[in-house]
């Protein structure tokens, strides 16, 4: 938590959102989100909810009450799960006067390639599966998706301009890919049509993060 606050303090004038993932949230809990808000910054709560519809909807309501600007669910959790989460979160925000967070659907993780999908029973190309899940998220009235830069252009064509695309798998030229398999540089991802870029380790682990 101390390291996180040091980064927020250093970077808050340059960064649009701070992404809070599982490791930090399990270590520090909701207080880390409140800390970021105290620094007048927004939070993408990246916990990738994937469970039965009722459970995910209740988790989404908790994320809204916590003040997350974005949170995400796994699109593979089903159309029903996404629809229920969207409708229940919207109803709660209207009733309690809360700012409604944007709800994003995680498509196919950037650490996965076609061979990984085949091992879990998806016998299709990665891009086709990503776009299939993006269409499902749009049908559920979610605000957008999380997808690698390789699929951004096609998602934009299929789902339209107003559909938010948040893009991990972004690495500056020459940076290590780590466990990412489908990557582009920041410039390439932006030219492809991404709305938001997720860069963690290249900034966090740099000698000079700013």
Residues annotated as part of the active site: 48
Give ∠ CA 15-144-35 in degrees, rounded to 5.
35
Cα 192 from chain centre: 18
Residues 6+ apart with CB under 8 A from 3: none
Residues 6+ apart with CB under 8 A from 111: 179, 180, 181
């Amino acid at each position: 938590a101390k390291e996180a606050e040091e980064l927020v303090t250093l970077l808050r004038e340059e960064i649009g959102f701070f992404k809070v993932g599982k490791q930090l949230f399990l270590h520090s809990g909701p207080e880390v989100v409140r800390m970021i808000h105290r620094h007048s910054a927004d939070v993408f709560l990246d916990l990738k909810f994937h469970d039965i519809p009722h459970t995910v909807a209740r988790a989404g309501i908790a994320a809204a009450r916590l003040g997350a600007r974005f949170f995400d669910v796994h699109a593979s959790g089903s159309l029903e799960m996404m629809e229920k989460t969207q409708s229940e979160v919207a109803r709660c925000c209207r009733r309690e006067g809360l700012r409604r967070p944007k709800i994003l659907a995680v498509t196919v993780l950037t650490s996965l390639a076609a061979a990984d999908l085949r091992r879990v029973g998806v016998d299709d190309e990665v891009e086709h599966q990503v776009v299939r899940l993006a269409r499902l998220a749009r049908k559920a009235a979610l605000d957008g998706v999380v997808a690698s830069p390789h699929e951004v252009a096609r998602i934009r064509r299929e789902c339209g301009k107003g559909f938010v695309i948040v893009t991990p798998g972004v690495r500056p030229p020459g940076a290590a890919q780590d466990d990412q398999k489908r990557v582009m540089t920041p410039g390439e991802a932006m030219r492809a049509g991404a709305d938001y870029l997720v860069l963690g380790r290249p900034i966090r682990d740099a000698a000079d993060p700013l």
